[in-house]
Amino acid sequence: MRNDTLKSLRKPVRTLIRGGIWLGALGGVSALVPLFGLAALADALQTAPPDLHRIAILAALIVICAVSGWLATTLAMGLTHLADERLQARLRGRIITHLGVLPLGWFTGTHSGIVRKAVEDDLTELHYLTAHHEVERVRAVSQPLIGLFCLSLLNWRLALLAVATWPLYGVAYLWMMRGYRENLQHMDRDLAAISAAIVELIRNIVVIKSYRQARRIHNDYGQATSRFAAFYGGWAGRTARIEAISALLLSVPVIMLTSLAGGYHLVTAGQVTPVMLLAEIMVAITLPQSFQTLHTGNAAFKKAQAAAERLEHLLSLPILPAPTHPLSPRSAEVTFDHVSFAYDDGRPVLGHISFTCAPGTVTALIGPSGAGKSTLARLVPRFYDVTEGAIRLGGVDVRQLDRATLYKQVGFVLQEVELLHGTVRDNIRLGKVDAGESDIIAAAQAAQIDSVIQALPQGYDTIIGDKHRFSGGEAQRIALARMILANRPILILDEATSSADPDHEVQIQAALSHLARGRTVIVIAHRLASIVHADQILVLAEGQIIQKGRHEALIAQDGCYKDLWEVENRAQPHAHPAETEGALPC
């Protein structure tokens, strides 16, 4: 299965790789000819008088074979590098295209690591395999085989002599690899424990320090590293000793000594000539390199297989289906028609939700944490597709709109405001790429952020993330300015005031009022005070709408909303949203 994945990924460049493999084999074999040629040359030089014609032919043959061997190898590498380049370009293209059609919801999870790993690490693993390993491997296999075959043509004893130390090496190698897989898994587990301790330390550093728990976390980290050191020290020590012995068995001096000792007997017994022995030595000393190449190549191959599987997984993630006959919405009305939704785990998050947002009205969603407010709001711009029912924009199912039309209709400002690395101007201009300076400034003014930007030494040219960082509330107002510029008829605002302090919240509310004017807005709110004028308030609990209506109507009836209103009014005027929310009675 693993091999199939790798094969199918590399199928488009298979011909180039095969060409590289054949040329690599040719290069490996050609590189052997000079070795035998040198031995024959030594023989020719011994004869008296020297046969100059034979010497010249041999010398020319040696040079031609050495050069053509080098050429074949270079060409082989050229072909495999070309294959790799095409494969990388193709895979990058496929990744980018696929990322472009994945549901937006996929990106809100913790998936950025997968994309980074795919684009950086996994493609690099494939690079080594495609561009280098195939040619190196075919050389590593063909050279010893042909070398030994030629030696056995001269005298089978020479071929045996060339591999005399191999059985000992084989035993040492098998000994070294005993329990390799289990030990590797053990090592992975220990390393994962160390990583977890580091991640825990970094992620929670503020909490850890403020509660003086640094020592406990250091202890966890210390124990994890000690466990790893104890295990790895034992394994690596044993392996290193055996590796040293096996390396010695394949070292040039040991091979030469063995060849000379064995060769001496063969020469004195008249079974081979000294020149034949010279050829044997030259072949024998090239063999360990082949072992080394096969050994490292095998590890690279396994890594590439795992990388191919990860890439295949990424590329096979289900995409957001595109309509075959896209339609256009007839108005900015939003309708939820018996919508149910469950994430991949299958647990129902929303059940049979129905409501309509008339064009140009504000609908507020409230409810306890985990009620499904964000999920509901994110279904409109198709972060995910509904499991049952339908969401319609201007009477058209969102699944019948092509992506460009959908995003032209629906704008969203989410909990995590994303400002890109670039100037403030460019960040606002994202809303409308051809916007002029006056439009940008007008949008920033409407979003109550212009004065903050103007006060910066570089104003709208300030690079975000370089020397300047905006506060959460400021970042949100920049995102709102962007949205004002984008001028979408339908807006989804998810907890747009959550990271603002009370002073900033007033400004954000002003920006929101400007933005909401004349648009259909669905806003997730944590403070009821900010939504008392909403045209419609939906109270959600456990994925169901439990109350619906305007503020006045809702506080006039017993229920969750009235309780919440009382809790909020009893609480300190500027309670943090989460505090009020934690006190939700429903």
Q: Is 65 an interacting residue with respect to ligand ATP (CB under 6 A)?
A: no
Q: Is 405 an interacting residue with respect to ligand ATP (CB under 6 A)?
A: no
Taking the least distance from each CB to ligand ATP, the nearer of 373 and 504 is 373
Rounded to 5 degrees, φ, ψ at 207 are: -65, -45
Q: Which stretch binds ligand ATP (CB under 6 A): 27-35, 371-379, 398-406, 527-535?
A: 371-379
Taking the least distance from each CB to ligand ATP, the nearer of 277 and 575 is 575
- Cβ-in-10-Å burial (0-12, 13-18, 19+) of 229 comes to exposed
Distance CA 409, CA 486 (A): 10
Distance CA 452, CA 456 (A): 7
Q: Is 427 an interacting residue with respect to ligand ATP (CB under 6 A)?
A: no
Taking the least distance from each CB to ligand ATP, the nearer of 83 and 99 is 99
CB of 106 to ligand ATP, least distance (A): 9
Taking the least distance from each CB to ligand ATP, the nearer of 103 and 274 is 103
Buried b (16+ CB within 10 A) or exposed e, 429-438: bbbbeebeee
Q: Among residues 37, 372, 473, 489, which is the contact residue for ligand ATP, using CB under 6 A?
A: 372
CB of 542 to ligand ATP, least distance (A): 9
**E strand or H helix at 112, and its extent?**
helix 112-116
Taking the least distance from each CB to ligand ATP, the nearer of 120 and 345 is 345
Distance CA 225, CA 213 (A): 19
Q: Which stretch binds ligand ATP (CB under 6 A): 127-135, 156-164, 234-242, 370-378?
A: 370-378
Distance CA 233, CA 225 (A): 11
CB of 584 to ligand ATP, least distance (A): 10
Q: Among residues 73, 80, 88, 375, which is the contact residue for ligand ATP, using CB under 6 A?
A: 375
Taking the least distance from each CB to ligand ATP, the nearer of 19 and 103 is 103
Taking the least distance from each CB to ligand ATP, the nearer of 362 and 485 is 362
Sheet with strand 334-342: strands edge to edge: 348-357, 334-342, 388-393, 396-397
Q: Is 109 an interacting residue with respect to ligand ATP (CB under 6 A)?
A: yes
DSSP 520-557: EEEEE-S-GGGGTT-SEEEEEETTEEEEEE-HHHHHTS
Q: Is 374 an interacting residue with respect to ligand ATP (CB under 6 A)?
A: yes
| Contact present, 12 and 90 (Cβ < 8 Å) | yes
How many of the other CB atoms lie within 10 Å of CB of 517? 12
Under rule CB under 6 A, how many of the chain's residues touch ligand ATP?
A: 12
Taking the least distance from each CB to ligand ATP, the nearer of 422 and 559 is 559
CA gyration radius for the chain? 36
Tokens representing 6? 């790798």
Q: Among residues 133, 373, 482, 527, which is the contact residue for ligand ATP, using CB under 6 A?
A: 373
Binding mask 335-354 for ligand ATP (x = CB under 6 A): --------x-x---x-----
Binding site for ligand ATP (CB under 6 A): 109, 343, 345, 349, 367, 369-375
